[in-house]
Amino acid sequence: MANSTKDLFVFANLDGQFAPAGQLSLDEEGSNLIASSFAYGLRYLERSNAQEIDPVALTLKNKDEIRGRRLVPPNGLEAFGGIRDAAPDAWGRRVIEARLKVPSNSLPESTYLLEAGSDRIGALDIRSSLADQERPAHETIHNLSYLLDGAQKIEAGLPVSDALARILVAGSGLGGMRPKASVRDDEGILWMAKFPGNNDGPLDIPSIEYATIQLAELAGLNVAKTKLEQVGAKKILLVQRFDRSWNTASGPIEIRHHVVSALTLIACHESESPTKSYMDIADAIRRYCLVKKIKSDIEELYGRMIFNIFVSNDDDHLRNHAFVWDHQLKGWSLSPLYDVMPHAVIASERYQHLGVGPQGKLSTLDNAYAAKERFGLSPKDAMQIIDRIWRVTRQWRVHFETLGISDVQIERIAPAFRHIDAICSSDLRKLSLTSAASDAP
Ligand SMILES: Nc1ncnc2c1ncn2[C@@H]1O[C@H](COP(=O)(O)OP(=O)(O)O)[C@@H](O)[C@H]1O
Ligand SMILES: [Mg+2]
């Protein structure tokens, strides 16, 4: 198969306007990406509000070192993490393929990058020439039913009209596997709509994800803002975009914040995600995040790990942890929590996707507690976080009922929620009881 080199232009949205950030070259062999290189534009490097494309290989910390240089991805990877995070993931690829009427995964990476549209996650847009214009690509929140219909057809491999396909391609720049689209409400706020999937079976996944995110918030975690919408007989989860903020002081200007995944910070290939751990993410936070946020971000990460253990969210891979660019502080910090879905397994011995502690992925509090030093936590701090999360997750049924989740759905998801005695040795439980006055539900 013939090799070809594609030269693309990366734009970054700064203070509400796209500016050329640099030139990306991709070496491709058919649908395989072989290598990438990138050079920041000289004018971009002069901008005081420039956002880094990624903190590992494309950092702006030492501008003198990178001026005029072509940079390559770290660790022999074929793609830059910060660019891969701006590319469509499994769902977005299916939508683009449906519109272009081609088989799954048959397109070169450059085509997926170009097709994803300007409303993609983060602050970047990828265009084929400097003269290309922005392609805003969102629908109004009033068209959820139309979008749901289109998403179901695409998932089933059925044809959709070109007009609908174009609208859904708009949402193809959102990552992840589940069907979704980008929608704007009447105030101009952008949301990610997550639809029920054709293969969800009897589980009402949007409602359960919604209730679980609310539960995490009650447990003191920093979560994305969510709403649940009823469309016909189906529920749709709306998650407010945390990669956008709205500056209303000088008119409603939408500010875009670049987003990179933990996969990018750890600088590994996606296939290596199951070999990594929460401790690797903590190390990456120390290395790449804003100094004043390091302690609180690592504590929050520990809390999320404990929460994921209690609710059996075992889809906690490296792309389900993200970091957002802060324009004021000019650096990265942990994003709000998203994509938490309890997994109703029956096994008593359970495992997380990522490593938890010295016993690897084993999903127990003993394993997590034994790793506390790697998160900079004292025994008391770690125990307080565990107690705080348990005090809320033990009441999950009441919270789910209050949020309107039906009894049938509650019963279906119940096996996911773990009692502390199932995941905690009696020795550790005694310690926990002395640090908090709570007991079993
Ligand atoms: N509220 C949000 N704002 C901005 N980006 C988000 C938000 N929620 C998720 N993302 C990004 O979109 C991707 C897909 O969302 P996710 O909820 O993980 O979908 P899926 O269930 O299909 O994996 C995530 O990996 C993350 O990069
Ligand atoms: Mg996800």
Q: How many CB atoms lie within 10 A of CB 264?
A: 30
Q: How far apart are CA 355 and CA 208, in angstroms?
A: 25
Ligand 1 atom at minimum distance from 240 CA: 1
Ligand 1 atom at minimum distance from 243 CA: 4
Q: Are residues 298 and 236 in the same domain?
A: no
Last residue of a domain, one of 92, 127, 162: 127
Ligand 1 atom at minimum distance from 90 CA: 22
Supply the residue whose CA is at minimum distance from atom 24 of ligand 1: 175
Ligand 1 atom at minimum distance from 174 CA: 12
User: Is the CB of residue 342 less than 8 Å from the CB of residue 311?
Assistant: yes
Cα 257 to ligand 1 centroid, rounded to whole Å: 14
Q: How far apart are CA 357 and CA 371, in angstroms?
A: 5
Please report the pLDDT score of residue 398 as a whole number.
98
Q: Are residues 390 and 308 in the same domain?
A: yes
Handedness of CA 138, 155, 174, 181 (dihedral sign): positive
Which ligand is closest to the CA of 209, given by its number?
Answer: 1
> What element of type H or E holds 413?
helix 407-413
Residues constituting the chain: 441
Q: Are residues 99 and 207 in the same domain?
A: no
DSSP of 160-205: --HHHHHHHHHGGGS-SSS-EEEEE-TT--EEEEEPPPTT-TT--H
Enclosing domain of residue 296: 257-435
Q: Are residues 394 and 274 in the same domain?
A: yes
**SS3 per-residue string spanning 329-357:** CCEEEECCECCCCCCCCCCCCCECCCECE
Instruction: Tell me whether residue 314 is in a domain.
Output: yes
Ligand 1 atom at minimum distance from 225 CA: 1
Q: Are residues 269 and 417 in the same domain?
A: yes
Q: How far apart are CA 346 and CA 30, in angstroms?
A: 43
What average pLDDT values come out for the chain (441 residues) when binned by 10 residues? 89 94 97 96 96 96 94 97 93 88 92 88 94 76 88 88 76 79 89 93 97 98 96 96 83 88 96 96 98 98 98 97 95 97 96 98 98 97 97 98 97 98 94 60 41
Instruction: Tell me whether residue 246 is in a domain.
Output: no
Cα 384 to ligand 1 centroid, rounded to whole Å: 29
Cα 175 to ligand 1 centroid, rounded to whole Å: 6
Which ligand is closest to the CA of 257, given by its number?
Answer: 1
Burial (Cβ within 10 Å: 0-12, 13-18, ≥19) of residue 64? exposed
Cα 356 to ligand 1 centroid, rounded to whole Å: 22
Supply the residue whose CA is at minimum distance from atom 15 of ligand 1: 176
Please report the pLDDT score of residue 437 as a whole number.
47
Tokens of 417: 């929620």
Which ligand is closest to the CA of 339, given by its number?
Answer: 1
- Residue 253, SS3? strand
Q: Are residues 321 and 399 in the same domain?
A: yes
Q: Are strands 180-184 and 139-140 parallel, antiparallel or unpaired?
A: parallel
* Cβ contacts of 293 within 8 Å, gap of 6 or more: 329, 331, 333, 334
Cα 321 to ligand 1 centroid, rounded to whole Å: 9
Which ligand is closest to the CA of 176, given by its number?
Answer: 1
Q: Are residues 356 and 408 in the same domain?
A: yes
Q: Are residues 422 and 287 in the same domain?
A: yes
Q: Are residues 314 and 170 in the same domain?
A: no
Count how many domains the chain has. 3
Instruction: Tell me whether residue 302 is in a domain.
Output: yes
Instruction: Tell me whether residue 247 is in a domain.
Output: no
Q: Are residues 96 and 25 in the same domain?
A: yes
Tokens of 371: 């790793």
Q: How far apart are CA 223 and CA 403, in angstroms?
A: 16
DSSP of 244-264: EEEE-BTB-EEEE--EEEHHH
Which ligand is closest to the CA of 180, given by its number?
Answer: 1
* Cβ contacts of 287 within 8 Å, gap of 6 or more: 265
CA–centroid distance for 66 within its chain: 29
Please report the pLDDT score of residue 176 as a whole number.
78
Instruction: Tell me whether residue 134 is in a domain.
Output: no
Instruction: Tell me whether residue 315 is in a domain.
Output: yes
Q: What DSSP state is assigned to residue 244? A: E
Q: Are residues 296 and 320 in the same domain?
A: yes
Give backbone dihedrals phi and psi of 321, rounded to 5 degrees, phi first.
Answer: -130, 130
Supply the residue whose CA is at minimum distance from atom 1 of ligand 1: 241
Supply the residue whose CA is at minimum distance from atom 7 of ligand 1: 241
Instruction: Tell me whether residue 440 is in a domain.
Output: no
* Cβ contacts of 307 within 8 Å, gap of 6 or more: 216, 219, 221, 313, 340, 389, 393
Ligand 1 atom at minimum distance from 336 CA: 1
Q: Are residues 24 and 105 in the same domain?
A: yes
Pocket probe for ligand 1: among 320, 325, 334, the residue whose CB has the most ligand atoms within 8 Å is: 320
Supply the residue whose CA is at minimum distance from atom 4 of ligand 1: 241
Give which of 398, 376, 389 is closest to 423, Cα–Cα. Answer: 389
Cα 408 to ligand 2 centroid, rounded to whole Å: 25
Q: How far apart are CA 263 and CA 282, in angstroms?
A: 13
**Ligand 1 cavity residues, CB under 6 Å:** 91, 121, 174-178, 192, 224, 239-243, 259, 319-320, 322, 338-339
Cα 201 to ligand 2 centroid, rounded to whole Å: 19
Ligand 1 atom at minimum distance from 322 CA: 27
Handedness of CA 66, 72, 77, 83 (dihedral sign): positive
Instruction: Tell me whether residue 132 is in a domain.
Output: no
